[in-house]
């Protein structure tokens, strides 16, 4: 890396180095020393951007949520509310290498959040953000009159959110079974069942 | 603990000590030294039962699957296929302290499985066991004629399994939102939607 870089850019590069170490060696190896080596920086230079390991890891975790949010914001409206809802949800599951990396890092930090209050707080923020996106997708369908009138949107957001995070875990741990095509089919089927029976609802 | 105990019993107690350390301090602290201290044994005594830390951790992870399997085997048939399916699924999600402990340990080992092939193999075994239970629940409903005739049982097993594991993650990370009552309601709702429209299917 060149010596003169934008500090924000450098921080993002360091967070990416954290991700690389986590995905290759596990979160327990993501020390300041190992991340500095991965990024080709001295530990002193790294500490110019992140004073502590905790600060570095929190920034790296926050990046998972930031990247998902940026993708959702960049989405173009699709041809129908159903297509928009489906594409929104697809942005949040590991359908390509970029989203697979996010899911792996998210999963590593999820486990750490069990015993680390700082990580837990960031994790909960990302949890709430993802849950909000699920509620948005369901509201899109409901507002278009595509769901039964008595649909419990809050319960459905909880259910859909659990489905997406479960798919993310399974795609990471059982990639040969839970493939991108399979994930896409499960999401489509789930939306189909939400839309089922608007006349009888 | 007394000096003379059944070796199987002692191994189970040591696995429980691993769980205690994982839940309190994280998997990265589950060294042979810390587990021996937690169990009130010398490191030499612990090594009589588990030669290596890897062996100890694999046994502790395997216990997650063993306990779920034992609960499912001990289930009495319920009043209807629907009630049986619902109770089967409830055995696999964190509705009480025992199942919450299993979910926390499972989550810690899931993350480790990303970078540890031995843990990954055990994790995949438990994954397949849980997926099989989901397929059983859906087949129970289908065989009783409670679902549309064209139901894709394999896709539905993938969907239900992802839902259950997502609920487990959320119950651990967001217990104030994803409560046992909420989990029970989500599972009931999911089965309702599977059963919807048998006449029109």
Place of tokens 């300041």: A32
CA distances from B83 to A34, B89, B135, B155, B184 (A): 52, 10, 15, 22, 12
B201 has a pLDDT exceeding 50 = no
Segment A9-24 shows an average pLDDT of: 92
Question: Among B74, B109, B110, which Cα is nearest to B91's?
Answer: B74
B58-104 pLDDT, tens digit per residue, is 999 999 999 999 999 999 889 999 999 999 999 999 999 989 999 99
B199 has a pLDDT exceeding 50 = no
- Residues 128 to 157 of A: which have CB under 8 A from any B CB? 152, 155-156
A124-148 pLDDT, tens digit per residue, is 999 999 999 999 999 999 999 999 9
Percent composition of chain A: helix, strand, coil (DSSP 3-state, to 5): 75, 0, 25
Residue A198: per-residue pLDDT: 40
Round to whole Å and give the CA distance between A18 and A15: 5
Residue B28: which pLDDT band, with cuts at 50, 70 and 90? confident
A200 has a pLDDT exceeding 80 = no
Residue B1: per-residue pLDDT: 53
Percent pLDDT > 70 in chain B is 96
A59-93 pLDDT, tens digit per residue, is 999 999 999 999 999 998 899 999 999 999 999 99
CA-angle at A98, arms to A121 and A92, nearest 5°: 55
**Which of the residue ranges A146-160, B112-126, B181-195 would you say has the lowest mean pLDDT?**
B112-126
Q: Answer for the pair A78, A87: CB distance below 8 angstroms, yes or no.
A: yes
B16 has a pLDDT exceeding 60 = yes
Residue A201: which pLDDT band, with cuts at 50, 70 and 90? very low
Which of A104, A156, A186 lies at the smallest CB-CB distance from B162? Answer: A186
Residue B139: which pLDDT band, with cuts at 50, 70 and 90? very high
Residue B137: which pLDDT band, with cuts at 50, 70 and 90? very high
Name B119's Cβ contacts closer than 8 Å, sequence gap at least 6: B57, B58, B61, B109, B112, B113
Q: What is the CA radius of gyration of chain B?
A: 19
A119 has a pLDDT exceeding 90 = no
Q: Answer for the pair A104, A60: CB distance below 8 angstroms, yes or no.
A: no
- Residues 75 to 134 of B: which have CB under 8 A from any A CB? 104, 107-108, 110-116, 120, 123-124, 127
Residue A84: per-residue pLDDT: 96
- Residues 17 to 36 of A: which have CB under 8 A from any B CB? 23-28
More confident residue, A10 or B181: B181
Segment B146-174 shows an average pLDDT of: 96
Q: Which of A30, A104, A159 to mutate to test the interface with B (most CBs of B within 10 A)?
A: A159
Residue B198: per-residue pLDDT: 40
| Binary contact (B170, A110; C-beta < 8 A) | no
CA distances from A59 to A50, A63, A141, B67 (A): 9, 6, 34, 37
Segment A25-30 shows an average pLDDT of: 89
CA distances from A49 to A2, A29, B15 (A): 15, 19, 41
Q: Could you give the dihedral angle defined by the CA atoms of residues A144, A147, A152 and A157, in that order, rounded to the nearest 10 degrees?
A: -70
Q: Answer for the pair A187, A89: CB distance below 8 angstroms, yes or no.
A: yes
Segment B35-55 shows an average pLDDT of: 93
More confident residue, A2 or B160: B160
Residue A1: per-residue pLDDT: 53
Residues in chain A: 201
**What are the structural domains, with CATH classification, of chain B?**
1-51 (1.10.10.60), 61-195 (1.10.357.10)
Residue B163: per-residue pLDDT: 98
Q: Give chain B's mean pLDDT.
A: 91
A117 has a pLDDT exceeding 70 = yes
Residue B76: per-residue pLDDT: 87
Whether residue B12 lies within 8 A of chain A, CB to CB, comes out as no
ipTM of model over 0.85:
yes
Residue A104: per-residue pLDDT: 92
Round to whole Å and give the CA distance between B36 and B18: 9
Which of A127, A177, A190 lies at the smallest CB-CB distance from B174? Answer: A127
Residue B34: per-residue pLDDT: 95
């Amino acid at each position: 890396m060149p010596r003169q870089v934008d500090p924000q850019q450098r921080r993002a590069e360091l967070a990416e180095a954290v991700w690389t170490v986590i995905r290759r060696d596990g979160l327990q190896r993501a020390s300041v020393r190992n991340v500095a080596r991965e990024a080709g920086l001295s530990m002193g230079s790294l500490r110019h951007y992140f004073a502590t390991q905790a600060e570095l890891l929190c920034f790296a975790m926050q990046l998972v949520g930031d990247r998902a949010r940026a993708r959702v914001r960049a989405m173009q409206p699709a041809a129908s509310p159903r297509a928009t809802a489906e594409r929104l949800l697809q942005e949040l599951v590991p359908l390509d290498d970029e989203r697979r990396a996010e899911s792996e890092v998210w999963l590593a930090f999820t486990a750490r959040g069990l015993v680390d209050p700082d990580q837990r707080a960031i994790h909960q923020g990302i949890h709430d953000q993802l849950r909000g996106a699920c509620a948005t997708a369901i509201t899109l369908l409901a507002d278009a009159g595509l769901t039964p009138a008595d649909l419990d949107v809050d319960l459905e957001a909880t259910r859909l959110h659990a489905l997406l995070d479960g798919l993310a875990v399974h795609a990471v741990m059982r990639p040969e079974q839970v493939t991108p095509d399979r994930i896409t089919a499960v999401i489509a089927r789930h939306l189909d069942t939400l839309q089922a029976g608007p006349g009888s609802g």
